[in-house]
Amino acid sequence: MTRPQRDLFPPVPADARGQLPLDGRHTMYWETAGKPGGQPALFLHGGPGAGASAEHRRFFDPQHYRVVLFDQRGAGRSTPLGETRDNTTQDLIQDIERLRDHLEIARWLVFGGSWGSTLALAYAQAHPERVTGLVLRGIFLGRAREIQWFLTGMRAFFPEAWARFAGHIPEAERDDLLTAYLSRLNDPDPEVHLPAARAWSTYEGSCSTLLPSPETIAAFGDERTALGLARLEAHYFAHDAFLDDGQLLADADRLRAIPGTIVQGRYDVICPPESAWELKQAWPQAQHVTIPDAGHSAMEPGIRRALVAATQRMKGVT
């Protein structure tokens, strides 16, 4: 049974939703919730490929914010699920602008964690005039060393989970797990790509929390979640997140007029605290909050509380 999250705002229904055509291949699912005419806030989910959920609306006061959520290309309720063609960071930035225009929003608060922090930073650096503030969690900067850490480094802390992840691949191919997984995740046969997707996704879920969380692992193992997450993460990893190595730090001066909060779990193994620290040095205007008893997940208690406090501080920031 899912435990109630009392430090989040109460559940709030979506008041509008739709499917926005993006091109001849992709369609974006979007929804809004909260106060009509309220302060606009955009939620960017992680992954890439994880998709947004109703729980993500609860980081925002529904009596104040008009919250916008969407599933990125190939993720969640966007179609086609797991599609990697025409799916780059630059495409996603354009999609955000298309959605903003569609909803007739001039500027908005942007909230993102993990891959969502990557996309939030890339979007804010491309369109700083459209961003009133940033709330970021579990910083991932898309650098080669961060990608390699996910693929091999996390075994130092989660050897059992990594053994299951690597064990899905024949021993002869384990010197290049990314290539091995890519070939299986993109195989048209569900009997090949679905087990690979579950192996990849449950590896991530197993490493996401400070304490073991069977609920989290089960959620990551859901068929649709696993396929979108694993296939798109592998696709983006193989292309270095479609960013120059170190680009988000090099271009951090474009954020100097944007207020922000960086929330980081001290024991975040998926996105280690070093990246959050480096981002703070490059963007000194941001507030940097380290949660001493948390891992990676946005649903860690201390991280939940810090993210809600951050959205509360951003009220009225326009």
* 66 backbone dihedrals φ, ψ, rounded to 5°: -100, 105
DSSP class of 237: H
Contact 315, 64 (CB under 8 A): yes
Q: How far is 134 from 314, CA to CA, in rounded Å?
A: 9
Q: How far is 198 from 204, CA to CA, in rounded Å?
A: 10
212-224 burial, b if ≥16 CB within 10 A, otherwise e?
Answer: ebeebbebbbeee
Query: Which candidate in 45, 64, 288, 296 is catalytic?
Result: 296
Query: Which candidate in 268, 275, 288, 297 is catalytic?
Result: 268
Residue in the block written with tokens 């298309």: 98
296 is catalytic: yes
User: Quick one: which of 190, 202, 209, 210 has its CA closest to 233?
Assistant: 202
Q: How far is 179 from 36, CA to CA, in rounded Å?
A: 46
Query: Which candidate in 78, 95, 114, 235 is catalytic?
Result: 114
Rounded alpha-carbon distances, angstroms, from residue 197 to 43, 78, 106: 25, 18, 38
User: Quick one: which of 131, 65, 66 has its CA closest to 97?
Assistant: 131
Catalytic positions: 114, 268, 296
